[in-house]
Structure 1
Amino acid sequence: MFAFDQFGIAFMAFFAITNPISSLPVYLSITEQEDNDTAKLIARKGVFVAFLIIAVFSLGGKIIFETFGMTMPALRLAGGFIVFMIGLQMLQGGQNSTVNHPINPQNAVRNREDILGVAVSPLAMPMLAGPGTIATSMNLSADANMTGVIATVLAFGLLCLITYILFLYGKRLIQLLGRSAMRVLTRMMGLILAVIGTQMFINGIYDAFPMLKAI
C-alpha cells in the first residue's frame, strides 16, 4: 500500500525548504537575457538534475550510512539544526541560504555548452537541492521501507514539476503577487521549516538517548 502519510510529510518538508516561489528571482536573473526556448531548457535541466540528486540520496541513504558509519540520530540532529537555521533565516527576512547565490545578469548563457553548467549550479545546487534538502531526504528515507523511500522520491518529483511550471510562468506570477506577498510567503515557509527542523532535532535526541524513552 502506498505510504500517503510519508508522501505528505515529505512534500511539505521539501516545499518548505526549497520554497520554489522565493527562488523565482534567481531563476529569472539567470535567464534574463535568454530567449524563451533557452530559458525553458535551463529550467528543465535544472529541476531534472535536482531530482536525480535527491533520488540518489534517498535511495542510497542506507548505503551511505553504512559506508561512513553514520547513525540515524546523528543525521537527525545535524539535519534538524541545518533545517532550523535555514527556517530561522527566512523568518528574519533573509534569503534562504540554499538560494542565496549571487548572479550577474550580464553573464548570459552564450552557447548550449553553458546551459548544463548554469542548470546544475546554481539552479539545481544549491538552489533546489541544497544541504538542507539533501539532509531532509536522507532523514526521511534512512529508516523507511522501500514504499516510504519511493513516496519520498515521488514527493520531491511532484515538487520539481511544480517548480518547473512556476519557472515557466515566473514573470507573470511575480507581477500578480507582488514582492510584498512573496516576502510574506517566505516568512510563512520559514516558520514551517523551523518547526520541521525542531521536530527532527527532538527526534534525534530521543533516539540518541534510549533512557529518555522510559520517561
Structure 2
Amino acid sequence: MHSFYTQLVTVFLGFFAIMNPVANTAAFAGLVGDRDKKDQYRIAAKALLITFAVILAFSLLGKAIFQLFGITLPALRITGGILVFLIGYHMLNGSGSKLHSAGSSEETDVAVSPLAVPLLAGPGTIATAMNYSASGGLTGIVVTLSVFALLCLITFICFIFSARILALIGQSGLGMVTRLMGLILAVIGTQMAMAGVLAFIKLPGMA
C-alpha cells in the first residue's frame, strides 16, 4: 500500500511539474485573455479534452507502439528522461523550452495549438505518460490516467481564474514557481534516464 501511494505522489508531481498549470495559465491569459468568459471556457475545455485524449491514446497504445517500432522500455525511459531534463533545465534557468513553445498562428485554433499541443501535451508529457503507464501494467495505466485527469481539472480551474491567479502571484511569483517546477523536472528526468540505463544493462546479452 505504501508503494501505491508513493507511485501516486510520484506520478502527480511528475505531471504537475511538466504541465506547470501556473505557468501555462500565463500563456492561456496571453492567448485568450482579451476574449469574453464564455469563449475562454470553451477554449479551455476543448484544449484540455484534446490534451487528455492525446495522453489517453499514448498511455493505452504505448506497448503496441513499442512493438510496432521495435522500441524497448529502457530506450523510452532514457529518451524521455533526456527530454524531461532539458525542459526542466530551461525552466530552471527562467526560460521556456522550445519543446513547449507558445508561438501560434491566427489560422490555427489556439485550443488545439499551441494550448493542447505542445503546451499541455508536449513531447515531455507524452514520454512521461508512456513511461509511467508502460512500466506499471494495468495499475500503472489506471493511476497515470486518473492522476492526469485530476491535473487537467486543476489546469482548467487555473485557466478559468487566470486573471485573478496572475494578479495574486505577480511576475516574480510566476518566475519562482517556474524555476521550482524546473528543478523537480530535472530531477525526474535524471531519475528516468538512470532507470533506463540500469534496465538496459540488465537486458539479455548486455551483461
State how far apart, in whole Å, the 2-side matches of 1:43 and 1:188 are.
Answer: 25
Q: State the 1:144 CA deviation.
A: 1.4
1:142 counterpart = 2:143: no
Amino acid at match of 1:170: S
1:58 counterpart = 2:50: no
Identity within the alignment, %: 45
State how far apart, in whole Å, the 1-side matches of 2:152 and 2:17 are.
Answer: 13
Q: State the 1:143 CA deviation.
A: 2.3
For the 8 Å contact 1:8–1:155, the answer to whether it is kept is no
State how far apart, in whole Å, the 2-side matches of 1:143 and 1:181 are.
Answer: 35
1:164 counterpart = 2:156: yes
Equivalent in the alignment of 2:48: 47
Render the CA deviation track for 1:157-199: whole Å, top value 9, x for unaligned.
Answer: 0000000000000100110111101101100000000000000
For the 8 Å contact 2:104–2:113, the answer to whether it is kept is no
SS of equivalent to 1:171: helix
Which residues in structure 2 correspond to 1:87-102 (within 5 Å)? Answer: 87-102=88-103
Q: How many residue pairs align between the two structures? A: 203
Q: State the 1:98 CA deviation.
A: 4.2
State how far apart, in whole Å, the 2-side matches of 1:167 and 1:191 are.
Answer: 23
Structure 1 alignment gaps of length 5 or more: none
1:11 counterpart = 2:16: no
1:206 counterpart = 2:206: no
Q: State the 1:34 CA deviation.
A: 1.4
State how far apart, in whole Å, the 2-side matches of 1:99 and 1:165 are.
Answer: 21
Render the CA deviation track for 1:25-65: whole Å, top value 9, x for unaligned.
Answer: 21112213311101110000101110110011111111111
1:182 counterpart = 2:169: no
Q: State the 1:6 CA deviation.
A: 2.7
Amino acid at match of 1:44: A
Superposition TM-score, scaled by structure 2 size: 0.92
- The CA RMSD over aligned residues, in Å, is 2.0
Superposition TM-score, scaled by structure 1 size: 0.88
State how far apart, in whole Å, the 1-side matches of 2:117 and 2:151 are.
Answer: 15
* Residue from 137, 153, 170 that aligns with 2:145: 153
State how far apart, in whole Å, the 1-side matches of 2:34 and 2:167 are.
Answer: 18
Which residues in structure 2 correspond to 1:62-101 (within 5 Å)? Answer: 62-101=63-102
Structure 2 alignment gaps of length 5 or more: none
SS of equivalent to 1:22: helix
